């Protein structure tokens, strides 16, 4: 009985440790996952100030900035690696020009 309990305890401890090990992904592994075969990535993040945006614009291509300082930007692998060092939280977005597989066509159009 003690052996079974001890085995169960060891296995369950190992099970809970594995996610913590896998959660620590290197920047290079993250970049490989984010980019896949793409040459650039489109993403957004919230900036703290206009000065921060100005500083980041030296390494990434800023596409748009909203009044709330939400920034939309493009970056290649090297630029994105530099951006990651900022520690900002970001969201990967589909490229604005990519086809999403849905076409909304009208059956009838009034041309008068």
pLDDT tens by residue, 42-60: 999 999 999 999 999 999 9
pLDDT higher for 24 or 6?
Answer: 24
Are residues 84 and 30 in contact, defined by beta-carbon separation less than 8 angstroms?
yes
Which pLDDT does position 101 carry in this prediction? 72
Which pLDDT does position 12 carry in this prediction? 42
Which domains, from first to last, does the chain contain?
A: 25-93 (3.30.70)
48-83 burial, b if ≥16 CB within 10 A, otherwise e?
eeeebbeebeebbeeeeeeeeeebbbbbebebbeeb
Q: How far apart are CA 110 and CA 42, in angstroms?
A: 37
């Amino acid at each position: 009985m003690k052996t079974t309990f001890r085995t169960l305890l060891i296995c369950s401890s190992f099970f809970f440790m594995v996610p913590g090990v896998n959660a620590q992904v290197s920047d290079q592994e993250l970049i490989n996952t984010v980019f896949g075969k793409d040459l650039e990535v489109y993403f957004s993040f919230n900036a703290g100030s206009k000065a921060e945006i100005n500083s980041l614009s030296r390494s990434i291509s800023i596409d748009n900035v909203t009044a709330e300082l939400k920034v939309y930007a493009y970056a290649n692998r090297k630029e994105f690696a530099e951006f990651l060092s900022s520690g900002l939280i970001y969201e990967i977005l589909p490229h604005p020009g990519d086809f999403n597989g849905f076409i909304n066509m009208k059956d009838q159009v009034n041309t008068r």
